[in-house]
Amino acid sequence: MSGRIICVAQQKGGAGKTTLVSNLAVAYLAEGKSVALFDTDPQGSLGKWLDIREETLGENQRLWFSTATAYGISRAIRGVDGEADVILIDTPPKADSDVRWVLRESDLVLVPVSASQADVWATHDLLDLADRAGKPTHIVMNRTRAGTRVGEEVAKSVAELEAQQLQSSLANRVVYAEALGRGLGVVEAKRNSSASDEVRALADEVSAILEL
């Protein structure tokens, strides 16, 4: 059986794509699944995260990683076909023809949106590309700030977008940045925590959508 392919995309930089990819990867590894990671972002943050991880924990035989161009993503995916249960693709902060190549390979598109109207504004073009590709797309709220005016305003704006929003979300917690810097996911860095509960709930919701 081919792995289910999840593309994490957002036109705006700093929206939390790598945080989302790395934490989902670790959550699925913890469930015993095999995971392939592809980084199409020239900035290479996901690869840096993995380098730190392997320096600390060593290599994991159920975790594959490769960089790839958007145009080369099809070939890269074929290289792990049948080996990985989940394939996660981190993309560059742009919404153009390059990203279309990744979208067309994906079973699901996740679009992180943080508590900023700028994130919401930047989402429209990406949603349009995903719609043209005919791919199921879901908004993932990131760095949420419950009980704040900006949080309420962004939530209202997101609800007006033509895309479904996952029930699960990630709150604005320091542990996400700390775990990323240590090459970990929050389910490893702080196993019994609200952040770990958030990530597990998110992974479960995505699994249900993709029937993983």
pLDDT (tens digit per residue) in 2-20: 789 999 998 878 889 999 9
Domain ranges, ordered by start, for the chain: 4-206
Entry field: residues in the chain: 212
Amino acid at 67: T
Q: What is the CATH number of domain 4-206?
A: 3.40.50.300
Q: Is the pTM here over 0.75, yes or no?
A: yes
pLDDT (tens digit per residue) in 142-190: 888 776 676 677 777 777 777 788 999 999 999 999 999 999 999 999 9
Q: Quick one: how many helices (H) and strands (E) in the chain?
A: 9, 7
Q: DSSP letters of 82-148?
A: TT-SEEEEE--S--SHHHHHHHHH-SEEEEEEES-HHHHHHHHHHHHHHHHHT--EEEEEESB-TTS
- How big is the chain by its Cα radius of gyration, in Å? 16
Nearest to 91 by CA among 132, 44, 52: 44
Q: Going by C-beta distance under 8 Å and a sequence separation of 6 or more, which residues neighbour residue 41?
A: 17, 18, 90, 91, 92, 93
Dihedral of CA atoms 111, 116, 121, 127 in degrees, nearest 10, equals 10
Average pLDDT value for the chain: 89
The band of 60, judged by pLDDT with boundaries at 50, 70 and 90, is very high
Q: Hey, is 67 helix, strand or coil?
A: strand
